[in-house]
Amino acid sequence: MTALSELVRISRWHLDEKRQKLGDLERLADRLRDDLRKLDDTIAHEQRVVQEDPSARETYSAYIKAEMERRGRLEQSIANVQSEIESAREEVAEAFRELKKYEMAKANQDQRETERLKKAEEKQMDEIGLQLHQRNNSG
């Protein structure tokens, strides 16, 4: 395996790793957003309960305070993960550019090798043709 082939292989592996990391972060962000939606649904349900049962109002303020703090932490986590996602996307783009650079170099190397082999074959065929011509003319 040539050095360029090895670089292409390693670059693909790096790109796959970066894509995996990005996918993991995107799934984490989805889970956090889902948790936030569930929290909002729970808060809305508790608000309806308080409206229907006045005795629940005594504990509602402590409950809503805790849930709002939880909501704030979830929103902060989502913001942090979004920032990581943007960084991961940049890393994927860079790894992709690097892979393409090596793939193009490898393709150029392969093309040069093919041309070299083709010229060597043509040269060999020309020599065979020349030898046949000399044999036919000498006899």
Question: Scanning the structure block, which residue is given the tokens 């940049």?
Answer: 90
Return the domain boundaries, the chain.
3-138
Per-residue confidence (pLDDT) for residue 139, from 0 to 100: 62
Per-residue confidence (pLDDT) for residue 56, from 0 to 100: 78
- What pTM does this model have? 0.75
Rounded-to-integer distance, Cα 31 and Cα 17, Å? 21
Q: What would the mean pLDDT of 108-126 be, rounded to a whole number?
A: 93
pLDDT in tens, 18-63: 999 999 999 999 999 999 999 999 999 998 888 888 787 888 888 9
The long-range contacts involving 92-97, CB below 8 angstroms and separated by at least 24 positions, are 92/15, 92/18, 92/19, 92/22, 95/11, 95/14, 95/15, 95/18, 96/15
Q: What would the mean pLDDT of 104-132 be, rounded to a whole number?
A: 93
pLDDT of residue 1 exceeding 80, the answer is no
Q: Does domain 3-138 have CATH number 1.10.287?
A: yes
pLDDT in tens, 65-111: 999 999 999 999 999 999 999 999 999 999 999 999 999 999 999 99
Burial 14-33 (b: 16+ CB within 10 A, else e): bbeebeebbeebeeebeebe
The helix or strand, by DSSP H or E, that contains position 100, with its residue range, turns out to be: helix 57-138
Q: Looking at residue 116, what DSSP letter applies?
A: H
